[in-house]
Homo-oligomer: A and B are copies of this chain.
């Protein structure tokens, strides 16, 4: 397996050699949220050819970014997860996501949204400066998407699924045929198109702590 390189001794070039190929960073994005199986990745990345997914996983494994685990006793099967090196990609992925979010136009017909995507876009929107000292937890729901954000003294933990004891559950009322993207959720929240269960005042906190800078 010969790697095509850029012939530059440079951190950026190296990064692109390791995770710059098509679909690679989207695989990493999904794995940043939680370990996934082959078919999970496949369905979370609509349009990825199966052989490309297979190839990428091998390359990422060889690059030391992804780890292939054969799950043990109970639910056996293969699970892909990020190595510590792979997890170190999070700041870079979030930075890219911030920039990309500002360049998002309207959803194209055929676009999909995954929980992983929404979770990462939420993390990208996180403003540590606005969160200092804040402790609170949210559960966010839209269509069939459920995720949570837990702030503990300004530190963020986030992931898929319900929060254990959410201070506030935000259910965004998004049009049946519209996409439940993070942006759409925030827009809904700003317009009051949400159902709130819990400490309703924490909605403003949420909107302050998770801010997508307006696209120019």
Residues of B within 8 A of A121 (CB): 10-12
In this complex, how many residues of chain A approach chain B with their Cβ under 8 Å: the count is 56
- Which single member of B7, B16, B95 contacts A95 (CB below 8 Å)? B95
User: How many copies of this chain does one complex carry?
Assistant: 2
As a 0/1 sequence over residues 1 to 36 of chain A, the CB contacts with chain B under 8 angstroms (1 = contact) are: 000011111111111101010110110010000000
Q: List 19 A-B contacts (CB under 8 A).
A: A6-B45, A8-B45, A8-B117, A10-B29, A10-B97, A10-B117, A10-B181, A11-B97, A12-B96, A12-B124, A15-B100, A16-B96, A16-B100, A64-B103, A88-B102, A89-B99, A91-B98, A92-B96, A95-B96
Given pairs A10-B120, A12-B120, 17 additional interface contacts (CB within 8 A): A7-B46, A8-B45, A8-B114, A9-B107, A9-B108, A9-B179, A12-B117, A14-B100, A14-B103, A15-B97, A15-B100, A18-B103, A20-B25, A64-B103, A94-B95, A95-B95, A96-B96
